[in-house]
Amino acid sequence: MADKTAKNPKRQWGAERATAPMSIKHPVPSLRKIVVGRIAIIVTIFAWFMYVITTIMREFIEGDPGSLRYVLEAVSYVAVVTALTFSALMYLLARQGALYRFRDHIRTPRGPLDQHYDGADGHDITVLIPSYKEELDVIAKTVWSAALQEFPSKRIVLLIDDPPNPTNPDDIAQLNAARDLPARIAAALDEPRSRLEHTSAVVHDELEGAETAPRDILSLVAADYGYASEWLETMACEHPLVDHTDAFFVERVLRGLAGDLKLTKIALDGALDQQQSPTPTRLLQLHNRLVRIFSAEIMVFERKAYDSLSHEANKAMNLNSYIGIMGKRWRIEKTPSGQVLTEVGAHSECDLDIPWTKYLLTLDADSMLLRDYCVRLVHVLEEPGNERIAVIQTPYSSYRGAPSRIERMAGATTDLQHNLHQGMSYYNATFWVGANAVIRRDALEDIVEKQTVGGFEIRTYVQDRTVIEDTESSIDLGTHGWTLLNYPERLSYSATPPDFGSLIVQRRRWANGGLLILPKFARQLRERRYRRDRVLHREIWLRINYMASIAWASAGLVFLLGYPYDSRLLSPWVILAAAPYFLCMASDLKYSGHRRTDIFRIYGFNLVLLAVNIAGVVKSIQQALTNTKIPFARTPKVQDRTAAPGIYVFIPYVIVGFSVLTFIRDYQAENWGNAIFAATNAILCTYAIIAYIGIRASLVDMVLGVVNWLYVPDVPSRRQLKKKEEGERAARRAKGASEPVEWERILYDGDRRLGPDVKRKNDLRRRITPR
């Protein structure tokens, strides 16, 4: 039995203690909740309109603006208020759509699902799990959650993106462990699969063509369900509980499936006690389900082992490299530069035979799926009328029981986003979120871009131009007439950053790229209107807000924090326009299992991330001007704290200091509205610094930031390296050792001397110079 004495990470005061996740199916919202949501939208629009009329128009028409400065202040202030109110309105609109979907959703019963998948061909799926230097236990839980999906034919591929030939002993051990993981999981599944396949042959022989099911066969099927349930329970008991993700894996992935199977056994035992039995067809379906659960092909693929595949440092090209070789047979050829893949015919010998599957499931290495994720989502794709749905997903939720305050708050914002994404599907404004998704392979073939790099064809299905590759691919799919859908249940969970350093990496990536995609969305709208597709204004608003709201919200907040606006511009109508947004968000936090008061913590959370969001937006502008890609920064997943860049820790202190000065100035000037706003910002940002960053950690990060800025590493120049190389060659010549001719590389690469030889050029110049 595995060691279960591992200690949980130290829990902070104010962290989340409850580890029980939310229910799979969203509770049906009450009529009162729906009506209040509608009223919130009306009040927001009405309050904004009244503010413009009563404050701005009154000052310009009835009053005396007084100066050009006041006019500019008024125009900029109303622009900021309008932008922030628009974002709040889009939140309320998406929230309302989510309420409608939760109200109307009817879960497909178990029986029709088993009937849909039983004995049908073409139900195959490839699960792609991109991984880069992930901890072994994190990957293992992800692979297990995919391997236990009850899908007819599933192939799980762990896409390891680590350098294939590391020199560090720790990296070597980590890489070898990841390479061995699929084989270990497959070996563990072999025992239950072998037993169930053996009894499956008996069940099929006895029930094939029978009019009634014999009692001994019914008892055998019930016993197999009991065996499968006990096997999962044993695995759950032996799994070490190190952190809250382990608790989720044990309780919801393993014991959740075990409880489902045990319930079926109880039903079959009840039929035995009552001298009754399901039909032979139904009994076959039930046993086939058991075999599917424990049957999976699991393998590893490393794109960096082949020079013919892209080595771009991002998750998108890791996925694209494997997708591009699916459905073909390949021979591995060794060249002086490395291994390359060469396509061979159907009757030729090959080293890799990558099957084509109708569906792909992309799954981040720190995510987990609940038991019937695949069967329910693919069932929706195969319903009549859904032939043009390219991507279906369940926006991920956060693991409960976070041991740190910042992880709990990041999880709260994640759960809010889950609801908003569900509502966006109501208005056909779905975006591919990225952590998990089932994709039609045919849809990817419509958006593929091909280019030749170094003589090898590189296929790009998921765009890597920006670091939010899923968002851009959503626009590409819409341009080609495909749609996307969020399944209205909680069937997937993913990790949230546990410290401020890793959170910076994630949120800076999220803030980058949205502005770059807006022109592509404009082209999509032209294409859809040309096809005479119906395009709702609400879809356009929601999509624009999703891609660009971080930019204008961050800029607007900077203006409100930093510029001393005239007190005449502040009005109760502004507060009334913002109130529905905050009240509804507090209600949504409570609905998602958090606290209503977390609304204030989230505000402080956003203040300390203000510089991070602005940095992401600025990076987008830089990328647009230079037309270059930026490196994909993966969110660190380490046990220890991730150090944060000093500038991002320093800015929250600047916000606090400036807010205090603003409060003192406005208090003395009796500018009460601005004084209250400044005091609120100072208090909540101070709390956020203490709770989410930590005074000691922030001081350490700022000192390290200064030291790293002042420190200049001693990197040898090219001249020094060349001189060292020439010295080594001279020493070898003095010993009489001749350098071997790299004949294979010369024959493969040809002449690589593409520039002039300076030494020979100078010698030639001296020879032809007239005397």
pLDDT tens digits along 116-141: 998 766 789 999 999 998 899 999 99
Please tell me which residue, 506 or 630, carries the higher pLDDT value. 506
Lowest mean pLDDT among 241-255, 293-307, 450-464: 450-464
Sheet holding 352-354, edge to edge: 338-344, 328-335, 352-354
In this structure, the number of other CB atoms found within 10 A of the CB of residue 426 comes to 22
pLDDT digits (tens, 9 = 90+) for 42-62: 999 999 999 998 877 776 666
Average pLDDT over residues 617-632: 77
E strand or H helix at 451: strand 449-453
Give pLDDT, residue 128. 97
Q: DSSP 3-state assignment of 533?
A: coil
Q: Is the pLDDT of residue 760 over 60?
A: no
Percent of the chain scoring above 70 in pLDDT: 90
Give pLDDT, residue 14. 72
Tokens of 250: 């044990």
Phi then psi dihedrals of residue 437, to 5 deg: -170, 140
Lowest mean pLDDT among 167-176, 536-545, 732-741: 732-741
Please tell me which residue, 180 or 59, carries the higher pLDDT value. 180
Average pLDDT over residues 254-262: 96
Q: Is the pLDDT of residue 605 over 70?
A: yes
Lowest mean pLDDT among 200-209, 526-535, 745-754: 745-754
Confidence category of residue 180, pLDDT binned at 50, 70, 90? very high
Confidence category of residue 391, pLDDT binned at 50, 70, 90? very high
Cα three-residue angle 227-189-137, rounded to 5 degrees: 115
Give pLDDT, residue 638. 57
Give pLDDT, residue 271. 93
The string over 342-371, giving b where at least 16 C-beta atoms fall within 10 Å of a residue's C-beta and e elsewhere, is eebeeeeebeeebeebbbbbbbbbbbbbbb
Confidence category of residue 419, pLDDT binned at 50, 70, 90? very high
Please tell me which residue, 571 or 224, carries the higher pLDDT value. 224
pLDDT digits (tens, 9 = 90+) for 570-602: 888 999 999 999 999 999 999 998 999 999 999
Give pLDDT, residue 4. 42
What are the helix (H) ranges across 427-513? 441-447, 469-479, 500-510
Residue 607 makes CB contacts below 8 A (sequence gap 6+) with 557, 652, 655, 681, 684, 685, 688
Please tell me which residue, 105 or 618, carries the higher pLDDT value. 105
Q: Is the pLDDT of residue 331 over 60?
A: yes
pLDDT digits (tens, 9 = 90+) for 66-114: 677 777 888 889 999 999 999 999 999 999 999 999 999 999 999 999 9
Q: Is the pLDDT of residue 405 over 50?
A: yes
Confidence category of residue 7, pLDDT binned at 50, 70, 90? very low
Give pLDDT, residue 671. 82
Give pLDDT, residue 528. 92
| Average predicted confidence (pLDDT) for the chain | 88
Q: Is the pLDDT of residue 492 over 50?
A: yes
Q: How far apart are CA 501 and CA 274, in angstroms?
A: 61
Reduce the secondary structure of 172-210 to three states and give it as a string. HHHHHHHHHHHHHHHHHHHHHHHHHHHHHHHHHHHHCCC
pLDDT digits (tens, 9 = 90+) for 545-567: 999 999 999 999 998 888 887 77
Confidence category of residue 3, pLDDT binned at 50, 70, 90? very low
Give pLDDT, residue 142. 97
Q: Is the pLDDT of residue 421 over 70?
A: yes
